[in-house]
Amino acid sequence: MKKTIRRIAPVAIVLLGLTTLSFTAKDGITLKLQPQKGKHYTINVKNTSMNIMEVMGQTQNQSQTIETRQTFTVKEVDASQSTLETQIEAIKMNIGASGMKLEYDSEHPEKTSPMLASQTSEFDKILNKPATVVYNAQGEFVGDATDLDMNQLSTVIIKLPAEELSVGSKWTNEKTQNMSGSEFKVSVEYTVTSISKKSVEVCYSGKIEADDDTTGNVTGTASINPQTGLVTTRSEKQNISTTISQQGLSIPMTMAANTTVTVTEK
């Protein structure tokens, strides 16, 4: 009996390895947005950036960190679409420029720097305001795009291809959005780097353009849950060049930003 057990154990390990390999090397997988009804998710987004401006021959640097916490609950799900209830629960911002440190914390308003009062008053208008949004099974938003202001759902719900995916598969998403009076166009190509039972790993790169002279590029990696179609983690880098108007001056500015996204489920 002992010899039999000893023989079975290595065979079981080999079979387990073959099972894992067969899943990874199978023909492919088709992703659809199908979160489970009643599930509650929390999205934590952290964006750090360094802005460099050229003002009258002098270089000015400004560092900025913005952290956002947003939740959503899956209200209804069927084969064609998902209905979610979502709200932004907290925003924290820190800015460093010219030796000054400015901060804002929606959960500790007493810490807000007076110089940020006009800007952060806009944040107060959107915090803890529940909204219902609908996405189709391919991850496309159904409704008025203006409902997505300051919304982080776009970091975890992306347009998924209808075709079956395998390692090396590529697909391209294009999005247009109005921000601060300018129309931004973002084109991103995703590439599948690995597939397992727990995640579909992708890398991506793309371009950012606006109707002014803004240009930029984006690169990153993300993990997608194959059961729900939701992005569970994301790491992204952006480099943007633009010109801003301030006190009658046209000021060239470059921005290098890093964004991390984590999604937890309850």
Residues 40-99: tens digit of each pLDDT:
999 999 999 999 988 777 888 889 999 999 999 999 999 999 999 999 999 999 999 878
Cβ neighbours around 120 below 10 Å, total: 19
Binned at pLDDT 50, 70 and 90, residue 145 comes out as low
pLDDT score of 20: 34
pLDDT score of 179: 64
Judge whether residue 22 has pLDDT over 70: no
Sequence spans of domains, the chain: 29-265
Judge whether residue 13 has pLDDT over 50: no
Q: What is the mean pLDDT of the chain?
A: 85
**To the nearest whole percent, how much of the chain has pLDDT over 70?**
85
Binned at pLDDT 50, 70 and 90, residue 222 comes out as very high
pLDDT score of 155: 92
What is the rounded distance in angstroms from the CA atom of residue 12 to the CA atom of residue 10?
A: 5
Judge whether residue 17 has pLDDT over 50: no
Judge whether residue 9 has pLDDT over 70: no
Alpha-helix residue ranges (DSSP H) falling in the chain: 2-24, 117-126
Which amino acid would we find at residue 137? A
Domain 29-265 classification at class level: mainly beta
Per-residue model confidence as pLDDT tens digits over 152-175: 899 999 999 999 999 999 999 998
User: In sequence order, what DSSP letters do the residues of 66-93 get, joined into one string?
Assistant: EEEEEEEEEEEE-SSEEEEEEEEEEEEE
pLDDT score of 14: 35
Judge whether residue 204 has pLDDT over 90: yes
- Range 115-130 average pLDDT: 84
pTM: 0.83
What is the rounded distance in angstroms from the CA atom of residue 94 to the CA atom of residue 104?
A: 6
Nearest to 75 by CA among 130, 140, 138, 146: 130
Burial environment of residue 200 by CB neighbours within 10 A (0 to 12, 13 to 18, 19 or more)? buried
Q: Are 147 and 135 in contact (CB under 8 A)?
A: no
